Amino acid sequence: MNMSNFRNGYGRDEAGSTAVEFALVSIVFLTMMFGIIDAARFAWEFNSAKAAARAGARLAAVSPPVVQQLVAYDAVTSLSLAGGSALPSDGVSIPDYSCNSTSCTSSGTQVAANFTPIVTRMKQYYPKVQASNVTIKYRERGLGVAGNPYGTDVEPLITVSITGLTFRPMALRIFGITLTLPSVETTFSGEDLA
């Protein structure tokens, strides 16, 4: 083979360079495209989790409490108040309760039959929510009426939170990377805890 032929013809052949450049640009383009899609999916899932927390808090505000002590609390007997009296504004009549899928804090007895419908409602908004992701907190702040014949004497602030949900981005799936969604919570005042 003559070296002059190599320099004149084969050494300057650029027919495959376009394909190589396209491959390199395609990788960058596809990575950016999947990143944009993942950002949108992340926002969708986060907003769905927030909607589920709101729906759970709304239902908890008008449903029987998850804590048996709130269901059975009698301010007339416990605080020596006359029926129809407002609860003390200091908000120390009963302890705060935090309930998850299995138990409640402050020696509270969980009523599972009242917890399950709240989680079921939340799943309608975000199907990935499991009972183990949900916490319901009751904080008494002096709202309510002693001797309420229609429901509980206490109208606590109810906070429903969701934690521990995960998100798998498509762009990072080949690396096995999973992200944790930020926790979300919504607080409502108990209204008709019948």
What is residue 161's predicted lDDT score, i.e. its pLDDT? 97
Residue type, 128: K
Q: What is the pLDDT of residues 81-120, one digit of tens each?
A: 888 877 777 756 678 899 999 888 878 888 889 999 999 9
Q: What is the pLDDT of residues 28-54, one digit of tens each?
A: 888 888 889 999 999 999 999 999 999
Residue 127: closest CA among 165, 184, 183: 165
What is residue 125's predicted lDDT score, i.e. its pLDDT? 96
What is residue 22's predicted lDDT score, i.e. its pLDDT? 85
Phi-psi domain of 107 (left: phi exceeds 0; alpha: psi -120 through 50; beta: other):
left
Structure tokens of 168?
């798998």
In this predicted structure, the answer to whether residue 14 has a pLDDT above a threshold of 70 is no
pTM: 0.79
What distance in Å separates the CA atoms of residue 128 and residue 105, rounded to the nearest whole number? 25
Residue 171: closest CA among 30, 23, 26: 30
Handedness of CA 15, 17, 21, 27 (dihedral sign): positive
Q: What is the pLDDT of residues 56-67, one digit of tens each?
A: 999 999 888 888
**In the chain, % of residues over pLDDT 90:** 36
What is the three-state SS of 46-106? Answer: HHHHHHHHHHHHHHHHHCCCCEHHHHHCCHHHHCCCCCCCECCCCCCCCCCEEECCCCECC
